[in-house]
Amino acid sequence: MPLNPPNSSNATFLDDVLHGLGSQPKQMPPKYFYDAIGAELFTQICELEEYYPTRTEISILQKNATDIATKLGEQAMLIEYGSGSLDKVRILLDALSDPVALCAIDISAEQLKAASKEVQNAYPELEVLAVEADFTQVVPLPSPETSPKAHVAFFPGSTIGNFAPENARDFLAGISETIGVDGLLLIGVDLKKDASRLVAAYDDAKGVTAAFNLNLLQRINFELGGDFDLTLFRHIARYSKVNGRIEMHLESCTDQTVRIGDHAFDFEAGETIHTENSYKFSSDEFQALAQSAGFDHVQSWSDPEDLFSVMLFHVSSR
């Protein structure tokens, strides 16, 4: 398949893919899951019976929206990292008193554009700012027309679990610097639980998560001229108790060689590409992590089974 016309985004994608496949063990940054097809597949994942995080977090937000809104205060600017479909932030917008702006940051341009337009139509008095960017890097924020009383970073979906602990700390520290003094962070955290329930959430019976994982190879084929045969790889999800994380892999079903342009990569049968980690936390573990990044814990909300927690932090004055 011919390589798409080069641009800076494709060049970075290619560099990351070549580096990841050339590493031992082979790996791939999970941010590349989210092309248009990947974003749609993830939306489907969030609706699966096995995938408890989305519906649990939504239930927590809905049940506690008034309390959360009181803590966030009036005339806030919400900044959602990895904004996706922007469904969860609407729960906050409905409860908040006179929010002045929403800044949505996402790497998936098509979904960002469509979701931002829907929110703007639903909240015509709200200034909606859409920023297409890799939110794992420092993202300069646009200034709203009305100065907010507080900047509120919103990071739902337990996406923080995709970062290695040291990278999670750096990312949170970057948010602290971005939102500044009096800034608030409202974040979704997936809590530790039975391993069988965790694995089922990342390896559903319908195979949607498998399609999501395999779409990464299809994207490499389409955008970078790769020749991955998707039928020769299979999706694997497993829980590492030692590391406290779910791991997603793509396993080669046979000995094979895959090419991307002039580059060739050999796979042995059973060898994997490590595509994603999803760390799970106890409440105390995550509060300690956030504190190390410059945040003080304000309050947490959870569900009756303690599957998930929505936590609020304030930028530390120390």
* Burial degree of 241 (CB within 10 A; 0-12, 13-18, 19+): exposed
Distance CA 37, CA 43 (A): 10
144 torsion bin: left (phi>0), alpha (psi -120 to 50), beta (else): beta
Around Cβ 62, how many Cβ atoms within 10 Å?
A: 12
The dihedral through the CA atoms of 195, 201, 205, 210 has a sign that is: negative
How many Cα atoms are found within 13 Å in the side-chain-facing hemisphere of 255? Answer: 0
Burial 170-184 (b: 16+ CB within 10 A, else e): ebbebbbebbeeebb
Q: Which helix (H) or strand (E) holds 189?
A: strand 184-190
Listed in sequence order, the residues at least 6 apart from 27 whose beta carbon sits closer than 8 Å to its beta carbon are: 20, 273, 274, 275
Residue with the bigger pLDDT between 192 and 2: it is 192
In this structure, what DSSP letter does residue 142 have? P
Question: Given strand 308-315, what is the order of strands in its sheet?
Answer: 127-132, 101-106, 76-81, 150-155, 184-190, 308-315, 295-302
Find out whether 183 and 151 touch, Cβ atoms under 8 Å.
yes
pLDDT above 90: percentage of residues in the chain: 87
Is residue 52 within 8 A of residue 166, CB to CB? The reply is: no
3-state secondary structure of 295: strand
Tell me how far apart the alpha carbons of residues 87 and 115 are, in angstroms, rounded to a whole number: 9
- Among the four given CATH numbers 2.60.120.10, 3.90.1300.10, 3.40.50.150, 3.40.50.720, the one describing domain 64-193+280-315: 3.40.50.150
The whole-chain average pLDDT of the chain stands at 94
Rounded CA separation 138/135 (Å)? 7
CB distance 83 to 105 below 8 Å: yes
Which pLDDT value is given to residue 5?
A: 34
Q: What is the pLDDT of residue 6?
A: 36
Which residues partner with 260 through β-bridges?
Answer: 226, 263
* 162: DSSP letter: G
Instruction: Note the pLDDT tens digit of each residue in 214-249.
Output: 999 999 999 999 999 999 999 999 999 999 999 999
HEC secondary structure over 203-236: CCCCCHHHHHHHHHHHHHHHHHCECCCHHHEEEE
Banded model confidence at residue 95, pLDDT cuts 50, 70, 90:
very high
What percent of the chain is helix, strand and coil (3-state, nearest 5)? 40, 25, 35
Domain ranges of the chain: 8-50+196-279, 64-193+280-315
- Mean pLDDT of all residues in 86-112: 93
CA angle 186, 106, 192 (to 5 degrees): 45
What is the pLDDT at residue 85?
Answer: 87
Cβ distance 2 to 225 under 8 Å?
yes
Check residue 138 and give its pLDDT: 82
pTM above 0.75? yes
Residue in 250, 280, 259 with CA at minimum distance from that of residue 28: 250
Round to whole Å and give the CA distance between 67 and 26: 45
Of 203, 225, 205, whose CA–CA distance to 214 is shortest?
203
Q: Is the pLDDT of residue 84 over 50?
A: yes
